[in-house]
Amino acid sequence: MKTPLIASFAAIFAAVAFADCCDTVKLPTPTLDSGMSVTEALKARKSIRAFAPDALSCEELSTLLWAANGFNRPDKRTNATGMNKQTIIIYVCMESGAYRYDAKENALVKICGKDLRPAVAASQEFAATAPVSLIIAADVSDPVYNGQWSALSCYDAGIVSGNIYLFCAANGLATVCRGTMDRDTLKKELALPDGVTLHLNHPVGRPL
């Protein structure tokens, strides 16, 4: 565990790195030996709606994203998806801008330089105080999502949400799963095509 001084320096470095980045930010290798056991994390899992302003370190953000939707095998993810469609997309909103998580490259691809956390928070202002907001989206343009399988990507998003909850519980971070967000603004600012839908979001930070 980082000491408070080291954590502060790591947070400052992360904020500067993202503020000065160009189009793509290469993330550090996820730290896969951190946190507590799965059963301990299940015991500790809870929704938290108050966040300290401290930024996450680059290492914490990288491992959080890997836990949510990263590759744990060459062609498979940490989250299960119906029919192995792997259509989940994670967007990362911070003060420095909005990014798409590229799991294969372990990188953030910058979409815009606007702080979209207020749009993620919408009517629930507490959510905008978290240093990071993760948006769980899905590409449902495949015809398989028509008819009886129309809700399939919703289940997939729920699995990703569970991964985020467990990672945060295991690593002393605060989060809450939310369905509320300003979808119209986010679709416009993230330049989402018609086939991509926004399911859930998770503000993430340190508990206040």
Rounded distance, CA 154 to CA 88, Å?
A: 10
* Superfamily of domain 4-205 in the CATH hierarchy: NADH Oxidase (3.40.109.10)
Domain boundaries, the chain: 4-205
Rounded distance, CA 112 to CA 9, Å?
A: 26
Per the DSSP assignment, residues forming a β-bridge with 207 are 51
pLDDT at position 22 is 57
Q: Name the token pair of 12.
A: 């400052």
Rounded distance, CA 79 to CA 159, Å?
A: 6
Q: Are 35 and 171 in contact (CB under 8 A)?
A: yes
pLDDT along the chain (208 residues), means of 10: 43 46 87 91 97 96 98 96 96 98 98 98 98 98 93 97 98 98 98 96 97
